[in-house]
């Protein structure tokens, strides 16, 4: 049998996130317009930073007891979407303008999940106890990695991403009373 280790991951936030989720929020905060989010409480956010995933991969390759095991990889802290956006806005040096809109209105207008990619109806919240105990993992919090992400986004040339393509529609929708 081929030896393997399973790593279970939540949403991975990093400079190289090919879904551009945090980058989409960043662009919205930087353009000065409001960020539209569903008015429901939403699911708690518990993600992981990309460099922590790399560290977990390296640690599983170094620990022979990791073979045949499964590890949940994810940060310790959990935030609401609103708190995440406030934290990101602080890292960007801007005030967050957040408009809560009934989910069904955002869906009807075809704005979800582009306008708020962390507002899906599913979010994993993984128990990372085993990875910390057996692999010695420690995880960066949102507080630790959002500032480096923002610095990276600011240092790079702005690029077009699919999740931001409807931004003009979002802004019009917001000004018409959402």
Domains of the chain and CATH, by start = 6-13+20-175 (3.40.50.720)
CB 157 within 8 A of CB 41: no
CB 44 within 8 A of CB 82: no
Nearest-10 crossing angle of helices 142-155, 81-92: 50
Above 70 in pLDDT, residue 129?
yes
For position 1, what pLDDT does the model report?
63
For position 4, what pLDDT does the model report?
86
pLDDT digits (tens, 9 = 90+) for 11-35: 999 999 999 999 999 999 999 999 9
CB 100 within 8 A of CB 39: yes
Above 90 in pLDDT, residue 75?
yes
CB 47 within 8 A of CB 143: no
For position 64, what pLDDT does the model report?
87
For position 55, what pLDDT does the model report?
98
Average pLDDT of the residues in 43-51 = 95
For position 3, what pLDDT does the model report?
77
For position 178, what pLDDT does the model report?
64
Under DSSP, the state recorded for 20 is -
Average pLDDT of the residues in 52-57 = 98
149: tokens are: 């992400």
> 136: how many CB neighbours lie within 10 A of its CB?
11
């Amino acid at each position: 049998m081929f030896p393997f280790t399973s790593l279970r991951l939540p949403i991975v936030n990093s400079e190289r996130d090919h879904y551009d989720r945090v980058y989409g929020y960043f662009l919205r905060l930087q353009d000065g317009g409001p960020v539209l989010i569903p008015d429901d409480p939403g699911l708690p956010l518990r993600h992981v930073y990309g460099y922590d995933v790399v560290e977990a991969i390296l640690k599983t390759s170094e620990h022979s007891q990791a073979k045949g095991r499964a590890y949940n990889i994810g940060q310790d802290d959990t935030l609401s979407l609103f708190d995440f956006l406030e934290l990101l806005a602080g890292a960007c040096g801007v005030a967050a303008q957040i408009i809560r809109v009934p989910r069904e209105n955002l869906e009807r207008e075809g704005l979800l999940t582009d306008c708020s990619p962390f507002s899906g109806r599913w979010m994993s919240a993984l128990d990372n106890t085993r990875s910390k105990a057996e692999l010695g993992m420690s995880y960066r919090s949102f507080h630790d990695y959002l500032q480096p992400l923002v610095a990276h986004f600011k240092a790079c040339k702005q690029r077009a991403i699919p999740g931001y393509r409807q931004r003009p529609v979002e802004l019009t929708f917001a000004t018409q009373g959402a």
